Amino acid sequence: MNNITLEPYEYGTFHEAVHWLIITSLEAGEIFVSVEEDFDIDAIADEVIDSREIIDENGYSRGVVFYQCVDTDEFWEIVRKHARPMPLD
pLDDT at position 1 is 41
CA distance 63 to 32: 35
- Top-confidence residue, 64 or 30: 64
20 contacts: CB under 8 Å, gap ≥ 6 = 9, 11
pLDDT tens for residues 7-20?
A: 668 999 999 999 99
pLDDT tens for residues 17-63?
A: 999 999 998 888 765 667 888 899 999 999 999 999 999 899 999 89
- H/E stretch holding 10 reads strand 10-11
- Top-confidence residue, 3 or 2: 3
pLDDT at position 34 is 79
pLDDT at position 19 is 95
- Top-confidence residue, 32 or 2: 32
Beta bridge mates, 53? 64
